[in-house]
Amino acid sequence: MRKSETCYNVIFPIWFLLLFPIGWLLVLPANFIVDSMILITALKMQHIPNRMSIFKQSIIKVWIFGFTADMIGAALLFCSQMSLGDWWIEYITIPLATNPFDNWYALLFTAAAIALAALFIYFFNYKFSFYEIPLQQKQKKTIALVLALVTAPYLLLIPSQLIYNGENGNRPELLCFTNHFVTHTQSSTQIMQNGQEYSFPDQYSTAFTNGINTANQVKMPHLKETEPTFTAYFYSSSYPDDKTSFPFWQADNEQSTIYYFQYENKIYQVKEKYSASIASGLQIP
């Protein structure tokens, strides 16, 4: 399937704060406060005497090495922004710049970056920060482990999408673990019924896409034996012949309209709120 390999990275990822000097003005003071609190707590937990003396000898190294480890984790995410094909852009590049909870691949990639940073926090502190500190090896390992677990850069998990406004000033909806049946390049919609094309307003297109990509699979094999209500096509404006089709069935009750669709021979149910938006946008007589 031919798709555009353009990355629509209009959102400035929050983890960029770790990679550019202007972001250090925010991150470094915060890191110093957190590192200080955790280090003092860890020393206290180990019942170590002369805690303030040890704190003064090690905090600068703990702070610097901790920030260095955070940058290593952020650098891994930065590498994800390379264009490595359609699949990579769809499941890794864009989600890591907007919302790492978008799919499991993006979440695991982000978790790997955090784990890598935590590993370096442990290594740097155990090997260097506490090298000349008069502590037992077990105590050094324990304190380094506490620092690694507590001060790892969990902010990498914060979706940058939360702090940006989308179209018309509205903040885009945060979607988690989506299906990606409709890809980010397929922004054009076509509705066909009995060989006739009908329009679908642009203001409902996002809800239509989200409805498909958040749908749940259901066991309704009998739907395949009936005629679909309509067929929806999603495609890239750059490649109009590259379409993904979805046969849709409409089910009405006294309270609402629910839509079902077929994809790769499986039936999916659109969530009620998206079904309502689709029903509002459809202009089929």
Q: Are residues 117 and 257 in the same domain?
A: no
pLDDT class of 7 with cuts at 50, 70, 90: very low
Amino acid 170: pLDDT: 66
- CA dist 86 and 91 (Å) reads 9
Q: Are residues 130 and 185 in the same domain?
A: no
Is 196 part of a structural domain of the chain?
yes
Amino acid 283: pLDDT: 74
Is 169 part of a structural domain of the chain?
no
Is 168 part of a structural domain of the chain?
no
pLDDT class of 5 with cuts at 50, 70, 90: very low
Q: Are residues 192 and 260 in the same domain?
A: yes
Q: Are residues 38 and 78 in the same domain?
A: yes
Please, what is the angle between helix 272-281 and helix 205-213, to 10°?
140
Amino acid 12: pLDDT: 62
- Over residues 261-273, the mean pLDDT reads 96
Strands 196-198 and 216-218: unpaired
Of 134, 112, 148, give the one whose Cα is nearest residue 50.
Answer: 134
Share of the chain above pLDDT 70, in %: 93
What predicted TM-score, i.e. pTM, was given to this entire model?
Answer: 0.88
Is 152 part of a structural domain of the chain?
yes
216: enclosing H helix or E strand: strand 216-218
- Residue 139: give the domain boundaries: 14-163
In contact, 39 and 148? CB cutoff 8 Å: no
Residue type at 77?
Answer: L
Mean pLDDT computed over every residue of the chain = 90
- CA dist 144 and 153 (Å) reads 15
Q: Are residues 243 and 124 in the same domain?
A: no
Q: Are residues 41 and 74 in the same domain?
A: yes
Q: Are residues 187 and 157 in the same domain?
A: no
Share of the chain above pLDDT 90, in %: 73
Last residue of a domain, one of 136, 163, 190: 163
Number of domains forming the structure of the chain: 2
DSSP 114-126: HHHHHHHHHHHII
Q: Are residues 158 and 216 in the same domain?
A: no
And the tokens for 45? 């937990």
Q: Are residues 120 and 233 in the same domain?
A: no
Strands 266-269 and 230-235: unpaired
Is 216 part of a structural domain of the chain?
yes
**Backbone φ and ψ of 235, nearest 5°:** -155, 165
Amino acid 14: pLDDT: 76
Give per-residue pLDDT as tens, 69-114. Answer: 999 999 999 999 988 999 999 999 999 999 999 999 999 999 999 9
DSSP 4-71: -------S--GGGGGTSHHHHHHHHHHHHHHHHHHHHHHHHHTT-SSHHHHHHHHHHHHHHHHHHHHH
Is 176 part of a structural domain of the chain?
no
Give per-residue pLDDT as tens, 137-175. Answer: 999 999 999 999 999 999 999 999 888 765 555 677 899
Q: Are residues 64 and 121 in the same domain?
A: yes
Amino acid 10: pLDDT: 44
Predicted confidence (pLDDT) at residue 8 exceeds the cutoff of 70: no
Is 43 part of a structural domain of the chain?
yes
- Over residues 125-135, the mean pLDDT reads 94
Give per-residue pLDDT as tens, 21-52. Answer: 777 888 899 999 999 999 999 999 999 999 99
> What is the CA angle 198-200-204, rounded to 5?
160
- CA dist 65 and 57 (Å) reads 14
And the tokens for 14? 């929050």
Amino acid 3: pLDDT: 40
- Over residues 253-273, the mean pLDDT reads 94
Is 159 part of a structural domain of the chain?
yes
Q: Are residues 245 and 214 in the same domain?
A: yes
- Residue 243: how many other CB atoms lie within 10 Å: 15
Amino acid 21: pLDDT: 77
Last residue of a domain, one of 163, 194, 211: 163
And the tokens for 251? 């089910």
Last residue of a domain, one of 135, 163, 191: 163
Q: Are residues 28 and 93 in the same domain?
A: yes
